[in-house]
């Protein structure tokens, strides 16, 4: 990505996004599709603009978070890449074990 960073998703993040999609799609499949596209565009913009987010080292060393539309995008930014670890609801309780090395694929 010119002048920006690249981004990728962990398997855990992809499973989480699929779960979010299914949940929203139960009521409105079009809204679910729009949400997934929108969040993907937001993550791309974060990478392009080299957004670092807020540190969450107490959860996992190097972990950062960016809130977006009632969700929290948890990622690690290094080597000109954002690696999305999880996308969780903003009200969801998070614990360090959710970000342990064996929790991320």
pLDDT tens-digit readout, 23-72: 999 999 999 999 999 999 999 998 988 877 899 999 999 999 999 999 99
Q: Domain 6-103 belongs to what architecture? A: 2-Layer Sandwich (3.30)
Report pTM: 0.88
Show the 3-state SS of the chain.
CCCCCEEEECHHHHHHHHHHHHHHHCCCHHHHHHHHHHHHHHHHHHHHCCCCCEECCCCCCCEEEEEECCEEEEEEEECCEEEEEEEEECCCCCCHHHHCHHHCC
Encode pLDDT of 77-86 as tens digits. 988 899 999 9
């Amino acid at each position: 990505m010119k002048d920006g960073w690249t981004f990728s998703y962990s398997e855990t993040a992809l499973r989480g996004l699929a779960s979010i999609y299914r949940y929203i799609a139960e009521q409105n499949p079009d809204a679910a599709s729009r949400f997934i596209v929108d969040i993907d565009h937001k993550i791309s913009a974060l990478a392009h603009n080299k957004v670092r987010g807020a540190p969450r080292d107490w959860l996992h060393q190097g972990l950062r978070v960016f809130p977006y539309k009632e969700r929290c995008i948890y990622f690690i930014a290094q080597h000109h890449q954002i690696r999305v670890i999880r996308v969780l609801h903003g009200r969801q309780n998070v614990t360090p074990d959710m970000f342990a090395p064996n929790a991320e694929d």
